[in-house]
């Protein structure tokens, strides 16, 4: 009941959701993680996003004993929420682009959904789109560069304004009168969008609806925090604590101190060679090991991705592989971003 709520995103965008949660549930303690070393998620491998989501959820559970998890990231929700729900015994609340209210609001009959490429390409989003496609014309648009601009603390720069206009202007010309912000970073650009779009156009965000769903779930489980004083907040990041704190304070106009995540949550890469004919079987065996590692091929090199906390278990598993696998380890290092 007094336990905190965990919230995570690839970076600082999820703080827009944290603000909505704080406004609705001011007595709850909140723990936020910005997975800044891995931001943006919007163009990363699905397997990496799943692994990061599991690592961050494990940290929040094991270290902070959270009573609920908010995946304050549309991309991570699209890729990983079903896996988190299978693994965790607590309520897991995800984001979903608000297409339903948008098709109800539009008068021109043209709606735009702005989100990351990964969100728009996901199966989860395709299903959502299919269920509303007949009610309005729905244009989808990945907004390349928006997340990066926000992570640099640039909400109002000329460069950011130009980047916003690049995507939004052509949609106005297409007759869009309702914009759905399907990425938790994008509400930070709402003032710039508003300047371009004027007051008549609708801009729909999802944070408040997510906060309400969270409230509903906590109430149903009788675990709302009964304390009368304001909840405490703490902030963690896989990136550089000082830099992330500075950017968060610039973006949100209040002091937030981000602490670095403990080292066991680092991502370790093992590069290896394996004959082509053995690769599929190897991957199938690994998949049965529930999040121990995943295989990625980068620039023609086979890689195993895992975390510091799993590395010993992974090495033990590799040792137990049948002798017929001619797996040859080339090198091992900590991933520091692409
Ligand atoms: N804020 C996230 C989202 O809602 C992630 C954006 C990114 O890292 O690309 O999709």
- CA atoms of 308 and 312, how far apart (whole Å): 8
Is the shortest distance between the CB of 42 and ligand 1 below 6 Å? Answer: yes
Angle (CA) 267 272 274, round 5°: 140
How many angstroms separate the CA atoms of 33 and 273, rounded? Answer: 35
DSSP 13: T
Q: Please work out whether the CB of residue 97 comes within 6 Å of at least one atom of ligand 1.
A: no
Q: Say if CB 139 and CB 107 are below 8 A apart.
A: no
| pTM of structure | 0.86
Element (H, E) at 51: helix 46-64
User: In angstroms, what is the span from residue 264 Cα to ligand 1's centroid?
Assistant: 24
- Give per-residue pLDDT as tens, 24-74: 999 999 999 999 988 999 988 888 888 889 889 989 998 999 999 999 999
**Per-chain mean pLDDT for the chain:** 93
Structural domains in the chain, sorted by start = 5-95+208-262 (3.40.50.1860), 99-205 (3.40.50.1860), 266-334 (3.30.70)
What are the beta bridge partners of residue 181?
114
User: What are the pLDDT digits (tens) for 44-53?
Assistant: 888 888 888 9
Mutate which of 18, 184, 186, 247 for ligand 1? The one with the most ligand atoms within 8 Å of its CB, which is 184
Query: What b/e sequence results for 114-151 when a residue is b if at least 16 CB atoms lie within 10 Å of its CB, and e otherwise?
Result: bbbbbbbebebbeebeeebeeebebbbbbbebbbbbbb
Protein residue with its CA nearest to atom 9 in ligand 1: 42
Handedness of CA 37, 42, 46, 50 (dihedral sign): positive
118 CA to centre of ligand 1 in angstroms:
9
User: 261: which 2 tokens?
Assistant: 């995540």
Model confidence over 84-117: pLDDT tens digits?
998 899 999 999 999 999 999 999 999 999 999 9
* Four-point Cα dihedral 297, 301, 304, 308, nearest 10: -120
Q: Does residue 10's CB lie within 6 angstroms of at least one atom of ligand 1?
A: yes
């Amino acid at each position: 009941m007094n336990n905190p709520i965990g919230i995570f995103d690839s970076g600082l965008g999820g703080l827009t959701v944290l603000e909505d949660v704080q406004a609705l549930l001011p007595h709850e303690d909140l723990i936020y993680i910005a997975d800044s070393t891995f931001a943006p998620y919007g163009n990363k491998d699905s397997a990496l996003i799943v692994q990061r989501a599991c690592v961050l959820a494990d940290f929040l559970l094991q270290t902070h004993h959270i009573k609920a998890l908010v995946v304050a990231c549309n991309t991570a929700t699209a890729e990983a929420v079903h896996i988190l729900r299978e693994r965790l015994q607590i309520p897991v609340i995800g984001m979903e682009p608000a297409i339903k209210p948008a098709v109800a609001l539009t008068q021109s009959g043209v709606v735009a959904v702005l989100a990351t490429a990964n969100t728009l390409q996901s199966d989860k989003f395709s299903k959502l789109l299919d269920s509303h496609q007949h009610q309005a014309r729905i244009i989808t648009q990945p907004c390349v560069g928006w997340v990066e601009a926000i992570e640099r603390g640039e909400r109002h720069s000329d460069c950011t304004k130009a980047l916003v206009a690049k995507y939004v202007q052509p949609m106005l010309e297409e007759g869009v009168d309702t914009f759905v912000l399907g990425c938790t970073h994008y509400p930070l650009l709402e003032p710039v969008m508003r300047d371009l779009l004027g007051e008549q156009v609708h801009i729909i965000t999802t944070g408040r609806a997510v906060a309400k769903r969270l409230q509903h779930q906590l109430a149903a489980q009788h675990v709302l925090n009964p304390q009368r004083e304001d909840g405490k907040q703490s902030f963690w990041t896989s990136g550089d604590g000082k830099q992330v704190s500075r950017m968060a304070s610039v973006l949100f106009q209040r002091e937030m101190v981000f602490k670095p995540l403990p080292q066991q949550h680092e991502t370790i890469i093992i590069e290896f060679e394996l004959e082509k004919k053995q690769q599929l079987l190897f991957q199938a065996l690994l998949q049965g090991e529930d999040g121990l590692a995943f295989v990625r091929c980068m620039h023609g090199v086979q890689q195993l991705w895992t975390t510091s906390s799993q590395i010993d278990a992974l090495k033990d598993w590799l040792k137990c592989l049948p002798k017929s696998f001619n797996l040859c380890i080339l090198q091992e290092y900590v991933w520091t971003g692409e």
